[in-house]
Amino acid sequence: MPQTTRRTQALALLAATGMQRGTYEPLLFRLLWRLGIDIPPPHFMSFGAAAGLLGTSFTVVWSSMMWLLVWRHQPLNCQQLATGVLLAGGLFGLSMASYYAWSRRRHALPEWAALAGASQPASTGNS
């Protein structure tokens, strides 16, 4: 089954939980889907993938805005700046991944691979 069909099924499951659309279908994910990047909704991503994607995107957007609005007018130590940016992005990524993992358990959502028609059947180990 194409991943977009699994994504449609996953989004239907998430909508049935009563969550707000912005929670299970964040702007970043809608943008990536429109660009043709077919990733699962955040509730169905692994913890590491969610932390990496969300932390990286936050780091890029936040540090760009901070540079334009504040940091370019101040003398800054590059090492301190890099440490602060990476720490902020890492904490954000871990926080959001933790939230999505908690929400996945709270709503008893299945694993991504368990959705109907997973693209590759599980191997039985008998060859």
In a domain, 22, yes or no: yes
In a domain, 8, yes or no: yes
CB atoms within 10 A of CB 63: 18
**Domain hosting residue 36, numbered range:** 3-114
Per-residue model confidence as pLDDT tens digits over 33-87: 999 988 999 999 999 999 999 999 999 999 999 888 887 777 878 888 888 899 9
In a domain, 59, yes or no: yes
More confident residue, 9 or 125: 9
Residues 6+ apart with CB under 8 A from 117: 1, 5, 6
Residues listed for the chain: 127
- What is the mean predicted confidence (pLDDT) over 83-100? 94
In a domain, 38, yes or no: yes
Residues 6+ apart with CB under 8 A from 43: 10, 14, 24, 100, 103, 104, 107, 109
- Evaluate whether 87 touches 26 at the Cβ level (below 8 Å): no
Q: How many domains does the chain have?
A: 1
What was the pLDDT predicted at 127?
A: 37
In a domain, 84, yes or no: yes
In a domain, 90, yes or no: yes
Quick one: tokens of 101?
Answer: 């993992």
CB atoms within 10 A of CB 29: 21
